[in-house]
């Protein structure tokens, strides 16, 4: 698979993502349902703690990717939903700590929502990955 970043402006690179990417030569696509801060039984964790919710949601996303023999470098699109955009923005360094070392900057969208499916959850990540 070959990825070519498309960035007519550089501001998004400072936030850790590309405006777009051209993907060529991919053979499999994985569409991940929204991953949240839940344990292996689906019980919400870290209620009212945005930083730990983001961390666990990313852990859960990586577990799904690993189960498909993929990793963060395979992600071609992220959709992020949060009940508090300002609070989420304070903790997006977690994404840099995960994606930076593997030199991945997938296009992403961050949306504020009224609530998520489970009460107490504040952060959810959808992903598309290819290899």
Token pair 């998520």 in the structure block, residue: 116
The pLDDT assigned to 26 comes to 84
Between CA 33 and CA 24 the distance in angstroms is: 24
Question: What are the pLDDT digits (tens) for 42-66?
Answer: 999 999 999 999 999 999 999 999 9
Tell me the C-alpha distance between 5 and 31, whole Å: 21
Q: Which CATH number fits domain 28-130: 3.30.360.10, 3.40.50.2300, 3.20.20.220, 3.30.1330.40?
A: 3.30.1330.40
By C-alpha distance, which of 64, 83, 78 is closest to 121?
A: 83
Q: Please count the other Cβ atoms lying within 10 Å of the Cβ belonging to residue 18.
A: 18
The domain spans of the chain are 28-130
Span of 11-20, 40-49, 101-110, 112-121 with lowest mean pLDDT: 11-20
Q: Is residue 128 packed enough to be buried (19+ CB in 10 Å), middle (13-18) or exposed (0-12)?
A: middle
The model's pTM: 0.91
């Amino acid at each position: 698979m070959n990825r070519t970043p498309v960035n007519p402006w550089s501001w998004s690179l400072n936030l850790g993502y590309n405006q777009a990417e051209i993907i060529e030569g991919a053979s499999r696509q994985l569409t991940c349902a929204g991953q949240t801060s839940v344990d292996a039984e689906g019980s919400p964790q870290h209620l009212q703690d945005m930083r730990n919710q983001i961390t666990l949601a990313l852990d859960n996303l990586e577990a799904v990717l690993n189960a498909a023999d993929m990793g963060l470098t395979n992600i071609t699109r992220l959709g992020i939903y949060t009940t508090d955009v300002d609070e989420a923005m304070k903790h997006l360094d977690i994404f840099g700590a995960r994606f930076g070392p593997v030199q991945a900057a997938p296009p992403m969208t961050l949306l504020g929502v009224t609530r998520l499916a489970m009460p107490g959850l504040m952060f959810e990540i959808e992903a598309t990955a290819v290899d």
